[in-house]
Structure 1
């Protein structure tokens, strides 16, 4: 028998002055719900659910509708968006916490945390409540960010509201569009989950927040050990 002990993956240590989270796939797992809603939407329209879901993840609902129904005028786009969001808001079952997310968010100083999500604010409040994850005081939802991910606008605005430079922010993201947005903002970026698209290349990665810790220095600098 070998005397060697199983190797564990090296931990990542990051320093920052603020932390910003995406929501779906990053703090809460709503995959089953989102896949069902988009699949049901695709059926009558003759669209391929896999293609729609691949594009939709991390993006605002209106951007996905415009992408796959380019012939629609804006009024018709908004009717589709309202119908999709109505279903999402009425069906929170199946939304669960990413393991360790609630404790990790609670360990961070409340004044140094923000959420940037492509979901509307009402859905963000519902999903985080169902999953038992505390909602930060600073929340930028789809209605607060006219140009959504992959544009960096939401993350740049979050840094501004938190009173820090983007380079002093650590962003936790899980999807290609969100990772592109976070990287373009100049923030430090951590991939949550198993996404391996181009925007994830070279970034630190965590499966979940179990075992993650945070220390607050006397100078206000956060040391995150992931």
Structure 2
């Protein structure tokens, strides 16, 4: 399937509990630099920006935080807001998540979801469209084309 945008969760997907970049995060974000992407997180804007900076990850042009929506995950509000800001229909967005709440939010928004397992069993992510052992494995499977779309 081809997607017009990739929406990323922050905690557990791009940064760990200590604010360090998760293996493969920086490389993947640099690789996707010319593509439509957004960060959707349940934390506040200041914390999100600070974590990205601390982890040495590239900034996101589109950032949807708890400050921007009425209801956080598992409500779909954040993902729907990001799709609207990107001017992409939800069905053409791929979400990268690591939690049941985030997966539920993306599915409720009508989006396909990649679950990043990071050592956990697939059981927590049964509602995800795809599951990968790590962000590196996801990046290896992701095809980035010249048509401003990504394929999985």
- Shorter-chain-normalised TM-score: which range? 0.7 to 0.9
Change (3 A) 1:111 1:142: same
Alignment partner, residue 144 of structure 2: 215
Question: What is the deviation of 1:109?
Answer: 3.9
User: In 2, are the aligned partners of 1:100 and 1:210 still within 8 Å (CA)?
Assistant: yes
Aligned partner of 1:26 among 2, 6, 13: 13
Alignment partner, residue 40 of structure 2: 116
User: In 2, are the aligned partners of 1:169 and 1:188 still within 8 Å (CA)?
Assistant: yes
Aligned-partner Cα distance in 2 for 1:176–1:141: 18
Aligned-residue CA RMSD (Å): 1.8
Matches within 5 A, 1:133-148: 133-148=57-72
More helix by share: 1
- Give the TM-score normalised by structure 1: 0.60
Uncovered stretches (5+) of structure 1, i.e. residues with no partner: 1-13, 31-93
Uncovered stretches (5+) of structure 2, i.e. residues with no partner: none
Q: Deviations over 1:166-190 (max 9, x none)?
A: 1100000111111100011111100
Number of residue pairs matched by the alignment: 146
- Give the TM-score normalised by structure 2: 0.87
Larger radius of gyration: 1
Aligned-partner Cα distance in 1 for 2:34–2:146: 15
Change (3 A) 1:207 1:98: farther
Alignment partner, residue 103 of structure 1: 27
